[in-house]
Amino acid sequence: MSAQIISGKEVSAQVRECLKKDVEQMKLKDPNFSPGLVVLQVGDRDDSNLYISMKLKAAKEIGINATHMRLPKTATEDEVLHSIKEVNENSSVHGLIVQLPLDSVHKIDTEKVTNAVAPEKDVDGLTSINAGKLSRGDLGDCFIPCTPNGCMELIKQTGVSVAGKRAVVIGRSKIVGAPMHDLLLWSHATVTTCHSKTADLPGEVGKADVLVVGIGKAEMVKGEWIKKGAVVIDCGINHIPDASRPSGKRVVGDVHYASAKEQAGFITPVPGGVGPMTVAMLMANTVLSAKRFLESHQPGKWNISYSNLNLQRPVPSDIVISRSCVPKPIDHLAKEVGLLSDEVELFGTTKAKVRLNIVQRLQAQPDGKYCGGHRVNLITPTPLGEGKSTTTIGLVQAMGAHMKLNVFACVRQPSQGPTFGIKGGAAGGGYSQVIPMEEFNLHLTGDIHAITAANNLVAAAIDARMFHESTQSDKALYNRLVPLSGGERKFSPIQINRLKKLGIEKTDPSSLTEEEVTRFSRLDIDPSSVTWQRVLDTNDRFLRKITIGQSPTEKGYTREAQFDITVASEIMAVLALTTSLQDMRQRLAKMVVATSRSGQPITTEDLGVSGALTVLMKDAIKPNLMQTLEGNPVFVHAGPFANIAHGNSSILADKIALKLVGPEGYVVTEAGFGADIGMEKFFNIKCRYSGLRPHVVVLVATVRALKMHGGGPTVTAGMPLPKEYIDENLELLEKGCSNMKKQIENAQHFGVPVVVAVNAFKTDTEAELDLVCSVAKAAGAFDAVHCTHWAEGGAGAVALGQAVQRASEAPSSFKFLYDLELPIADKIRTIARKIYGADDIELLPEAQLKVELYTKQGFGNLPVCMAKTHLSLSHEADKKGVPTGFVLPIRDIRASAGAGFLFPLVGTMPTIPGLPTRPCFYDIDLDPETEQVNGLF
């Protein structure tokens, strides 16, 4: 009786159908996900091309995104290894096949090349690591080579159990024989491996219940050698002469099929047996690799380690504490929180940028709690600051290291101005810091410098354009704007955009009429209308008012101008509010820099500089990853001042963090200065553009700040605190709690639960801390707790973390303070009355003119970003507590059309701070031997 034929075509079709369903299930869970396969080929061998085409066809049928990477015959070993490294680091690829043989004119070490493939992508199962795991029996933690794996699948189809049977493998190659031996052994067969030196090969074959042949010799195994009823798997592919075939040859296996069929119980044909199964198993390994990837990169599946703090008493300086903790390598932290290697750009060992391709990868994943909007805000602070950043970090350390929740901090990048001026470092303080604090405070990854360069490029472009327009005829101006190149004139893409804006649908520079040439060439900027200022990230008070154009080369075209601090630049606001690279390009293009003499807004796109700005900002848009003292992840990104801009870290950082923490995780993000400024702008501006809705507001209060609002003496940076702030004084404190109650009321206007964090200083008494908590709860706070995170790290903020967790589950009904459709003055009035407690507003003449201008120019529906002092609820810094009965003066209004808001200037508001008599830089120095920065806080 003839053997039953095991059809590899039928079995492989069944396997591929199952794989197709597996891929469909993956896509149901994540529509953006596809298993990825790369086939790397060196040279152009016909047989390799045939095998590769079969693999690509099978991949397409199953739904695998397969790519054929071709390298020429001239490729060197280094070039091949470089290509493999690129694929290893590409997170969208889950399988990498190096097609053998490597057809290069250069000598290439095949073993070295195959072992360069990342083991987790080695779907051929050829690396030493996968081979070693297979030989040890770790079948669930490796990739099994495809041909042996296919052979096992074919044996399984016979229904014959391998366990306890005698198995013989002929051949000992790394691709077939050796792994086949291991697979049969771990399936509990008694295995004999035979080869060219085996004595009495027919006798050994005759003992086999299961025979697998992969020796590479045509029809070597004869039928009479085979045990009656054995399972015969023929892996051979050989060509023998056959005059009856058009090609003059035919394919046969290593087994003499005709005679073996009469002895065996089951047999595979050649072709149509093992071959199709090899391709099917390759696809199966690729899908398995993709499944493993998804399993190990589930949203919120963190495997994070935390650092133990060695608390010292008294608490040392911030920089001593920062240096006492050894930060985790930043690539290690990135991996812990679910970032892939190709999503991270390392800046040394302690900071990194996160690429925006992560947004696409995590698009379908659910967000964590934007109690990430745990909006950390202050009561109205003292000039010394009340520990908002410290509380942000302490809360994150508590929720992560101590409550074992996934939690991310999102904070602003500090400006160099305050770092060298009054404030000093901004990395938090005590045992609740971002580390290394000197890197955090100095340059970081250069984002602020990129903004400085981009901002000043715009300023240079404005004055250069005004100069050239004033000194040239229309024709000369046009000829220079659209110069001859190679004998012809061409508009650049950005010039085409300007033509379209003007309603000129032409692309040939020679076709414009004289009138069109004039309209295109002349922006006709009114010098008195220029609102764009130069910037510098230094507190240089003497740049608040300058005269530019005094060189003789500028031919007398001078004008008054000024410098702002870099973080006040509209480009910083754009960075903080953008949602993608494309969105940033559009926002940068819409920035209004001046008005023409005919009343039209002049944008950076009109100046032709918006594309260049995007290039300068292409790296700054990527959030910066750092860590806390206890090893929690922190995004440090964007840094607009809250008194002269919207004062919040970036939307992108918040959105990426919300995806990374997973649906049960938390993101803690902070706003600058008091809740009347930072929080109001967070809700009314940032939340409008992000579409995110916060769950909790954390309001930071301190005893000393509340005493100041109760009528305590003036607090001056650099001077000792008066005794009223050091000694217990419940009467003064209770009077000052009016400011905290007002800020709680302000948060409640937005329908979000408020938790008050009373940041304890060593001079505070228990009675004082308890008083603040009881007043806060009576005023409507969801909860109020006092915290000791400055002295104790996360352990000192666990009660705060628990309160925030409870509050995030409480009902909320978030709402904006005003509708965008309201007239500009009414939006300002709403903020002034509801948030500051003013009776009304007064639009001074310049502000009234701007209301009319911006309404006419189409900016009337933008949200409002109030620029006012952070030291009082009113416009007067010395008015503490809760001032009443005042009218808020609006001296001017400016448009940040690219960022997407109007900013009224309240009272006198310098846009570049000045240095004090004794700036912080007196204490800052570098140790030339250790290269350590000293004196930073």
pLDDT tens digits, residue range 60-100?
999 999 999 999 999 999 999 999 999 998 989 999 999 99
Domain residues for 72?
A: 4-288
552-572, pLDDT tens digit by residue?
Answer: 998 889 999 999 999 899 999
Can you tell me the distance from the alpha carbon of 937 to that of 935, in angstroms, rounded to the nearest whole number? Answer: 6
Residues 528 and 661 in one domain: no
Q: How many CB atoms lie within 10 A of CB 13?
A: 14
Q: How far is CA 505 from CA 15, 500, 508, 509, in A?
A: 57, 6, 10, 11
Q: How far is CA 215 from CA 92, 144, 253, 534, 666, in A?
A: 37, 19, 10, 77, 59
Q: What is the CATH classification number for the domain harbouring 228?
A: 3.40.50.720
Looking at 809, 837, 853, which one is the last position of a domain? 809
Residue 539, classified by CB atoms within 10 Å of its CB into exposed (0-12), middle (13-18) or buried (19+), is buried
CB 99 within 8 A of CB 41: yes
Q: Can you say how many angstroms the Cα of residue 883 is from the centroid of all Cα atoms in its chain? A: 42
pLDDT-derived band of residue 781, with 50, 70 and 90 as boundaries?
Answer: very high
703-737, pLDDT tens digit by residue?
Answer: 988 998 888 887 776 677 788 888 899 999 999 99
Question: Which H or E element spans position 81?
Answer: helix 77-88
Q: Which amino acid is present at 86?
A: E
Is residue 670 classed as helix, strand or coil in its secondary structure? strand
**Is residue 252 one of the residues assigned to a domain?**
yes
**Is residue 305 one of the residues assigned to a domain?**
no
**Is residue 313 one of the residues assigned to a domain?**
no
Give pLDDT, residue 646: 80
| 525 vs 645, more confident | 525
Give pLDDT, residue 371: 66
Residues 589 and 519 in one domain: yes
Tell me the average pLDDT across 753-778: 93
**Phi, psi (rounded to 5 degrees) for 239:** -110, 130
Can you tell me the distance from the alpha carbon of 125 to that of 261, in angstroms, rounded to the nearest whole number? Answer: 31
| Secondary-structure percent of the chain, ordered helix, strand, coil, rounded to 5 | 40, 20, 40
**Is residue 918 one of the residues assigned to a domain?**
no
Can you tell me the distance from the alpha carbon of 541 to that of 471, in angstroms, rounded to the nearest whole number? Answer: 33
| 385 vs 122, more confident | 122
CB 785 within 8 A of CB 779: no
Residues 178 and 122 in one domain: yes
629-661, pLDDT tens digit by residue?
Answer: 999 999 999 988 767 778 889 999 999 999 999
Residue 524, classified by CB atoms within 10 Å of its CB into exposed (0-12), middle (13-18) or buried (19+), is middle
Among 80, 40, 35, 81, which Cα is nearest to 59's? Answer: 35
Question: Which H or E element spans position 458?
Answer: helix 447-471
With the C-alpha atoms ordered 859, 861, 865, 866, is the resulting torsion angle positive or negative? positive
Can you tell me the distance from the alpha carbon of 623 to that of 444, in angstroms, rounded to the nearest whole number? Answer: 11
598-614, pLDDT tens digit by residue?
Answer: 999 999 999 999 999 99
Per-residue pLDDT at 225 exceeds 90 = yes
Q: How far is CA 793 from CA 1, 220, 347, 402, 789, in A?
A: 81, 75, 27, 10, 4
Give pLDDT, residue 423: 56
CB 472 within 8 A of CB 557: no
**Is residue 928 one of the residues assigned to a domain?**
no
Which residues are designated catalytic? 55
Per-residue pLDDT at 259 exceeds 90 = yes
94-128, pLDDT tens digit by residue?
Answer: 999 999 999 999 999 999 999 999 999 999 999 99
**Phi, psi (rounded to 5 degrees) for 644:** -125, 5
Q: Identify whether 436 is preceded by a cis peptide bond (ω within 30 of 0).
A: yes
Q: What is the CATH classification number for the domain harbouring 898?
A: 3.10.410.10
Can you tell me the distance from the alpha carbon of 211 to that of 167, in angstroms, rounded to the nearest whole number? Answer: 6
413-432, pLDDT tens digit by residue?
Answer: 988 877 776 655 567 888 99
Token pair recorded at residue 21: 């369903």
Can you tell me the distance from the alpha carbon of 622 to that of 447, in angstroms, rounded to the nearest whole number? Answer: 9
Q: Which amino acid is present at 894?
A: R
Give pLDDT, residue 718: 62
Q: Which amino acid is present at 509?
A: P
Residues 56 and 201 in one domain: yes
Residues 668 and 537 in one domain: no
Residues 324 and 282 in one domain: no
Token pair recorded at residue 358: 């992560």
Can you tell me the distance from the alpha carbon of 194 to that of 629, in angstroms, rounded to the nearest whole number? Answer: 61
Can you tell me the distance from the alpha carbon of 386 to that of 423, in angstroms, rounded to the nearest whole number? Answer: 12
Can you tell me the distance from the alpha carbon of 584 to that of 571, in angstroms, rounded to the nearest whole number? Answer: 9
Residues 762 and 851 in one domain: no
Token pair recorded at residue 499: 């033509």
Beta bridge partners of 894: 903
Exposed e or buried b for every residue in 106-118, given b needs 16+ CB within 10 A?
A: eebeeeebbbbbb
Tell me the average pLDDT across 17-36: 92
Residues 151 and 254 in one domain: yes
Q: Which amino acid is present at 522?
A: R
Looking at 593, 617, 641, which one is the last position of a domain? 617
Can you tell me the distance from the alpha carbon of 608 to that of 492, in angstroms, rounded to the nearest whole number? Answer: 9
Among 434, 438, 366, which Cα is nearest to 396's? Answer: 434
Q: What is the CATH classification number for the domain harbouring 401?
A: 3.40.50.300
Question: Which H or E element spans position 934?
Answer: strand 933-934
Among 667, 672, 668, which Cα is nearest to 648's? Answer: 672
Report CA dihedral (362, 365, 368, 370) to the nearest 10 degrees. 70
Q: Which amino acid is present at 514?
A: E
Can you tell me the distance from the alpha carbon of 158 to that of 154, in angstroms, rounded to the nearest whole number? Answer: 7
854-912, pLDDT tens digit by residue?
Answer: 999 999 999 999 988 888 888 888 888 888 999 999 999 999 999 999 999 997 777 78
> What is the total count of domains within the chain?
4
Can you tell me the distance from the alpha carbon of 659 to that of 302, in angstroms, rounded to the nearest whole number? Answer: 12
Beta bridge partners of 628: 434
Per-residue pLDDT at 376 exceeds 60 = no
Residues 122 and 17 in one domain: yes
Can you tell me the distance from the alpha carbon of 706 to that of 794, in angstroms, rounded to the nearest whole number? Answer: 24
Quote the pTM value. Answer: 0.87
Beta bridge partners of 631: none
CB 462 within 8 A of CB 594: yes
Q: Which amino acid is present at 936?
A: L
With the C-alpha atoms ordered 158, 161, 166, 170, is the resulting torsion angle positive or negative? positive
pLDDT-derived band of residue 919, with 50, 70 and 90 as boundaries?
Answer: confident
Give pLDDT, residue 562: 93
Can you tell me the distance from the alpha carbon of 144 to that of 40, in angstroms, rounded to the nearest whole number? Answer: 19
**Is residue 625 one of the residues assigned to a domain?**
yes
Give pLDDT, residue 375: 38
**Is residue 306 one of the residues assigned to a domain?**
no
> Going along 60-109, which residue ranges are E strands?
65-71, 95-98
What pairing do the DSSP bridges indicate for beta strands 238-241 and 231-234?
unpaired
Give pLDDT, residue 29: 83
Tell me the average pLDDT across 325-342: 94
What is the maximal distance between C-alpha atoms in the chain? 112
Give 747-789 as a DSSP string.
HHTTT--EEEEEE--TT--HHHHHHHHHHHHHTT-SEEEEE-H
Beta bridge partners of 738: none
Q: What is the CATH classification number for the domain harbouring 535?
A: 3.30.1510.10
The residue with tokens 């800052």 is 924
Average pLDDT score, the chain: 91
Q: Which amino acid is present at 876?
A: E
Can you tell me the distance from the alpha carbon of 169 to that of 181, in angstroms, rounded to the nearest whole number? Answer: 6
CB 699 within 8 A of CB 740: yes
Can you tell me the distance from the alpha carbon of 34 to that of 25, in angstroms, rounded to the nearest whole number? Answer: 11
Give pLDDT, residue 382: 55
Residues 270 and 170 in one domain: yes
CB 253 within 8 A of CB 215: no
**Is residue 194 one of the residues assigned to a domain?**
yes
Can you tell me the distance from the alpha carbon of 827 to that of 829, in angstroms, rounded to the nearest whole number? Answer: 5
Q: How many CB atoms lie within 10 A of CB 267?
A: 28
Among 180, 213, 183, which Cα is nearest to 198's? Answer: 213
Looking at 753, 775, 809, which one is the last position of a domain? 809
Residues 693 and 599 in one domain: no
According to DSSP, residue 528 is labeled G
Per-residue pLDDT at 672 exceeds 80 = no
Tell me the average pLDDT across 431-446: 90
Token pair recorded at residue 96: 């990498």
Per-residue pLDDT at 386 exceeds 70 = no
Among 31, 8, 11, which Cα is nearest to 19's? Answer: 11
Give pLDDT, residue 556: 86
Is residue 42 classed as helix, strand or coil in its secondary structure? strand
Give pLDDT, residue 425: 58
Give 365-403 as a DSSP string.
SPP-EEEEEEEEEESSPPTT---HHHHHHHHHHIIIIIT
Residues 789 and 873 in one domain: no
Q: What's the distance, Cα to Cα, between the start and end of the chain in Å?
A: 91
